[in-house]
């Protein structure tokens, strides 16, 4: 069936509008995520160094792993949005706040951690997620010294698995509302455009 001129115009307008709508929605979601991560990492930048300097289990070097694991568990109860990991000087995970049933990486790439410690400020900076080999997360980190020698690192993930699950649910709800709002506004605008085109053509 051959479309008339008006119908072809209508199809073009609808197609362009839908493309713009999808691109805008994707860009908006990415910008929101990027801005949130940057703000959160800046706000929690000194979290790891504060914990190392203020807690004897970390300040003078790690010598009691059982006590350190207990400390991590207590800290995570106070703030479930973060996860705590003690890494040795090569990046291997020695202790953590995650349950034993959670599958973990054996080690963490130290490159972004060293960048964070030596030249902080280029946020958001992401490093390996110990619970997922496919993802990287924002973090805070600090070296741990024992008798003046580097013993390892305190590695704090900003955005635990539990936090991500809750955030994903909220995002789905918010995304649905935003999508409905954009579609409604777009349909109204499209109707106005089509009426104007119809008037001009006829």
Q: How many angstroms separate the CA atoms of 21 and 23, rounded?
A: 6
18-68 pLDDT tens trace: 676 667 666 666 666 667 777 788 888 899 999 999 998 899 888 888 899
69-111 pLDDT tens trace: 888 888 888 878 888 999 999 999 998 887 655 667 889 999 9
* pLDDT for residue 113 is more than 90: yes
Q: Residue 96: count other Cβ atoms within 10 Å of its Cβ.
A: 23
Q: How many angstroms separate the CA atoms of 162 and 82, rounded?
A: 9
Sign, CA dihedral 175-140-152-118, equals: positive
pLDDT (0 to 100) of residue 124: 87
177-189 pLDDT tens trace: 666 677 667 766 7
Q: What angle, 0 to 180 degrees and rounded to 10, lies between the N-to-C axes of helices 5-43 and 161-201?
A: 150
Residue carrying structure tokens 């959670």: 102
pTM: 0.69
CB 29 within 8 A of CB 175: yes
CB 86 within 8 A of CB 104: no
State percent of the chain over pLDDT 90.
Answer: 25
């Amino acid at each position: 069936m051959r479309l008339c001129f008006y119908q072809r115009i209508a199809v073009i307008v609808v197609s362009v509008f839908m493309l713009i709508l999808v691109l805008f929605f994707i860009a908006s979601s990415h910008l929101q995520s990027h801005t949130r991560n940057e703000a959160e990492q800046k706000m929690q930048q000194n979290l790891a160094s504060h914990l190392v300097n203020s807690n004897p289990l970390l300040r003078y070097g790690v010598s009691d792993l059982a006590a350190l694991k207990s400390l991590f568990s207590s800290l995570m109860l106070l703030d479930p949005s973060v996860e705590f990991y003690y890494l040795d000087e090569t990046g291997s995970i020695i202790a953590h706040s995650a349950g034993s049933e959670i599958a973990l990486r054996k080690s963490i790439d130290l490159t972004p951690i060293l960048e964070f410690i030596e030249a902080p400020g280029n946020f958001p900076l992401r490093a390996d997620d110990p619970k997922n080999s496919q993802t990287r997360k924002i973090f805070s980190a600090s070296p741990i010294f024992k008798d003046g020698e580097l013993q390892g690192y305190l590695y704090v993930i900003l955005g635990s698995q539990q936090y991500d699950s809750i955030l994903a649910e909220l995002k789905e709800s918010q995304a649905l509302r935003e999508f409905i709002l954009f579609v409604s506004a777009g349909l109204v605008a499209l109707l106005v455009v089509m009426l104007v085109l119809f008037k001009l053509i006829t």
